[in-house]
Every structure is written in C-alpha cells, then in structure tokens.
C-alpha cells in the first residue's frame, strides 16, 4: 500500500498548506484532502508539482506501508474503483 508523505515533508521544510497549495498550483481544499487521507489517489502531475515546490524528488513523497496499517486494509485489492 502506498502512503503519501507530503504533510511530513512540508512540515520538515517549514512550508504551510496554504503556501504549498498556492505555489504548486493546486486548490487548497485538494491539498487538505491529501493531508487528511495520505492513502488517497493523486495524479502524477500533482505529485510532481508538490515535489518541485518542496525541493525533493517525487519518490521522497511516497512510502510503502503494510496493508495492515492502511485504513483500506479490509477492502478487496481487486475491487475496481468507482
């Protein structure tokens, strides 16, 4: 399972959600949703935009975690997203 580390990296860099959203060119509410649900699907374009603002490679913003730690642990991984 993939987990986004955007909030952790932004905090380390001292960048607020509002500043990050503005400089990355994404809606504040979108970034707020990403912060609230780090297992959320986001586009590679959004990931790259955020990484550029934070000054890190996109890979630094994701990590692999065991499914047991995910809020989606009980869902069928083969179930299509609707």
Looking at the chain, the whole-number percentage of residues with pLDDT higher than 70 is 82
DSSP code string of the chain: -EEE-HHHHHHHHT--HHHHHHHHT--HHHHHHHHH-TT----HHHHHHHHHHHTS-GGGGEEE--GGGSTTTTS-TTSPP-
Would 32 be classed as within a structural domain? yes
Containing domain of residue 22, as a range?
A: 2-67
Would 18 be classed as within a structural domain? yes
Query: Long-range pairs for 18-21 at CB < 8 Å and ≥24 separation?
Result: 20/50, 20/53, 20/54
We report the CATH number of the domain holding residue 6 as 1.10.260.40
**pLDDT confidence tier of residue 82, bands split at 50, 70 and 90:** very low
State mean pLDDT over 48-63.
97
State pTM to two decimals: 0.80
**pLDDT confidence tier of residue 65, bands split at 50, 70 and 90:** confident
- Total structural domains within the chain: 1
């Amino acid at each position: 399972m993939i987990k986004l580390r955007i909030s952790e990296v932004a905090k380390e860099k001292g960048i607020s959600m509002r500043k990050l959203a503005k400089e990355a060119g994404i809606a504040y509410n979108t970034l707020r949703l990403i912060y609230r649900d780090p297992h959320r699907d986001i586009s590679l374009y959004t990931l790259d935009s955020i990484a550029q603002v934070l000054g890190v490679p996109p890979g630094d913003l994701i990590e692999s975690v065991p499914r047991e730690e995910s809020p989606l642990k009980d869902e069928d991984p083969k179930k299509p997203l609707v």
